[in-house]
Chains A and B, each alone.
Chain A
């Protein structure tokens, strides 16, 4: 199926921030987010397959999490905020129903 392509995450994080600055992080990942509510042409239910969890960690500590349910649109977008304190690295993780997980990292320099 055309939908079996590997999901590609895209994240927008500023590279630099001042200490105490509030930064907005915008993320997007390509994914069909099959809700499990649809039927194919033969009337059979198309099995559910969604990304059910998004996690953002900074320097190893989880700072933000989102549990996604089948109501989330295809190619899910998620934005949230982070208060810059020190330089380090973000790790963003998306967990798929099929057991796979997708990850991307972004460095942030504070100073």
Chain B
């Protein structure tokens, strides 16, 4: 009898924790995504964005968050009439949402660049490309981080 009561109590306890977690967790996620959204709004407030055109070159799992390679490649003829003007990269789980902002010119011949970034924990990387005609394209990918790269 006491055993049933015990398991019932445990069940309630786990249930309460689950409810609490579900209340807290979405809030944290939203706050981080909101940071990226705010950074995006600063650049392109109210403009429509379509997924596509950008190829992200990211590891699925980064063992060392201090040095994570990030490559982008945007589909474009890169002519004077039609080229990629800018690409912005954001991370939603770092202390600050911005990572890099590139400005390309038709002289580049190819809208492709690589760098290395720090990731504090597992999170989503978002890239936004601005074309010379004003169109915006996005790409998003999650990177799992084994050891975070923020120190302190």
Contacts and interface: CB of A to CB of B under 8 A. Distances in A.
Interface of A: 22, 35, 37-39, 46, 58, 61-74, 76-83, 85
Contact of A81 (B98, B99, B108): B108
Interface of B: 66-68, 78, 91, 94-96, 98-105, 107-110, 112-119, 149-152
Contacts of A69: 96, 98-100
B112 A80 contact: yes
Among the interface residues B78, B91, B95, B118, which one has the most CB atoms of the partner chain A within 10 A? B118
Contacts of A68: 100, 115
Residue among A38, A63, A73 with most chain B CB within 10 A: A73
A70 B99 CA distance: 7
Contact of B99 (A58, A62, A72, A79): A72
B95 A76 contact: no
A66 B101 contact: yes
A72 B58 CA distance: 15
Contacts of A63: 105, 107-108
Contact of A71 (B78, B94, B105, B109): B94
